[in-house]
A and B are shown apart, each in its own frame.
Chain A
Amino acid sequence: MNEILSQTSLFAIFLTLCAFELGRWLQKKTKLSVLNPILTSAIMIIVFLLITGVDNSVYQEGAKTFSWMLTPATVCLAVPLYEEVQILKKNIPAIIAGVAAGTVSSLGFIALMSWLMELDHSLYVSLLPKSITSAMAVVLSEQMGGLASITTMIIVVTGILGSVLGPIFCKIFRLNDDISAGVAYGTSAHVIGTSKAAQISELMGAVSSLSLVVAGILTALIFPLFV
């Protein structure tokens, strides 16, 4: 089985697309943010591989076909960024200040906690970019010796946490205008938080989406100082 399937990369691509669609359907049906399709589809694939006895390495080899799209997809974020900057021109300084404060405190806090708890260096680097979108975080983490698999999982978990608890956080921290709340969602919970913010209001979604890109850029620029 392993030998036959390692001849074709389409097996991994087909499996991933099917599992992801199934995961999306599941989330739509249940309306639960916790059932993020990245997590549910990954679990389905792991179960599938364990049952059929296909090696993870065979699956990964095929799935590599996907990975080239990551960089252009990230570059494409420039388009919504441009459009949001046009809409939010007046509030740009306040948004950037909030994102910068959040980004620095995120990196600083993780560095401090990892030092206090004596975490392994590669685990520390894998956790460091946890609040930004995976496309940028995975590259940063790998560049500095982290593990892409851990970084991705932590990012998805962070995103789910931010989007599920966001409305409660907004109440506790009294973020009652759309711009401040949008910055909080985008800076702490990247794309997953942004989709939640966009459900609440269009303005909050746009601010969150702008924040996530700015947070990613800022993190990439100051990341080397923390490694």
Chain B
Amino acid sequence: MEFIFSIAILLGFTFLGELLHVLLPLPIPAAIYGLLLLFLALNFKLVSVKKVKKTAGFFISIMSILFVAPVVNLMDSWQIVADNIIQIIVIVVLSTIIVFAISGNVTKLMLKGKESKNE
């Protein structure tokens, strides 16, 4: 029964997220609203982590399978990829390197700044 209760909680927050997505005029996906609400509820101890952890872990673990069908769909939109393959490769490779370098180094600088302040 605990399983059902936790599913109800998690789907309840998903539903709240979808409700906000429909009601508020912002281009924010329902999942983001739901995620933030659940995070706040956990933070303020309205929901106990123990109760939902197992079920949340299950949902997260199956996430990868949900993307197989969209990739199979490439069968039908392959032409767009093939026509722009060089541009796509350039963007994907360069932007991955740039994001890796910038995000890591900004954090490193911030951590260093904090250390020297403490000294």
> In the complex, what's the smallest C-beta–C-beta distance from B84 to chain A, in angstroms?
6
A-B pairs with CB below 8 Å: how many? Answer: 298
Q: Nearest residue in A to B52 (C-beta to C-beta)?
A: A79
Contact residue among B38, B53, B97, B110 (Cβ-Cβ distance under 8 Å from A94): B110
For B, the interface residue count at a CB cutoff of 8 angstroms equals 70
Chain B 55-85 interface mask (CB, 8 Å, partner A; 1/0): 1110110111111111111111100110010
Q: Are B56 and A99 in contact (CB under 8 A)?
A: no
Does B42 lie at the interface of the complex (its beta carbon under 8 Å from any beta carbon of A)? yes
Q: Nearest residue in B to A227 (C-beta to C-beta)?
A: B27
Chain A 57-88 interface mask (CB, 8 Å, partner B; 1/0): 00110011011011111111111111101000
For A, the interface residue count at a CB cutoff of 8 angstroms equals 107
Interfacial chain A residues near B39, Cβ < 8 Å: 78, 81-82
Question: Interface of A with B (CB < 8 Å)?
Answer: 12, 16-17, 19-20, 37-39, 41-42, 45-46, 49, 56, 59-60, 63-64, 66-67, 69-83, 85, 91, 93-95, 97-99, 101-103, 105-106, 109-110, 113-114, 117, 119-120, 123, 127, 130-131, 134-136, 138-140, 143-144, 147-154, 156-158, 161-162, 165-166, 169-170, 172-175, 177, 179-181, 183-185, 187-189, 191, 211, 213, 216-217, 220-221, 223-224
* A-B residue pairs in contact (CB < 8 Å), sample of 15: A70-B63, A71-B18, A71-B34, A72-B59, A76-B52, A79-B53, A82-B39, A98-B104, A109-B95, A150-B77, A153-B74, A173-B101, A180-B104, A216-B32, A221-B32
